[in-house]
A = this chain, B = another copy of it.
């Protein structure tokens, strides 16, 4: 079973990487970029018997820092 886990910073948490990218795009001549937020994506190939609870626990224990990050699980 393929899973896609998207980890992104919570709203209100400063995103220096995103800001740096936004400035770099502007410097390259791309206008009209109002905001950039950078995140991480993990594509997991797990056994079909893996439960939703186990996936949730993987995210909370290892993949995401839930103090500052949200995560979302998509089944492919």
A interface residues, Cβ below 8 angstroms from B: 6, 8, 18, 21, 24-25, 28, 30-47, 49-50, 54, 57-58, 61-63
Contacts and interface: CB of A to CB of B under 8 A. Distances in A.
Contacts of A44: 33, 35-36
A46 B28 contact: no
Contact of A39 (B42, B47, B58, B61): B42
Contact of A38 (B35, B42, B58): B42
Given A6-B41, A39-B41, A40-B41, A46 B62 contact: no
Contact of A47 (B24, B31, B36): B31
Contacts of A38: 40-42
A50 B39 CA distance: 22
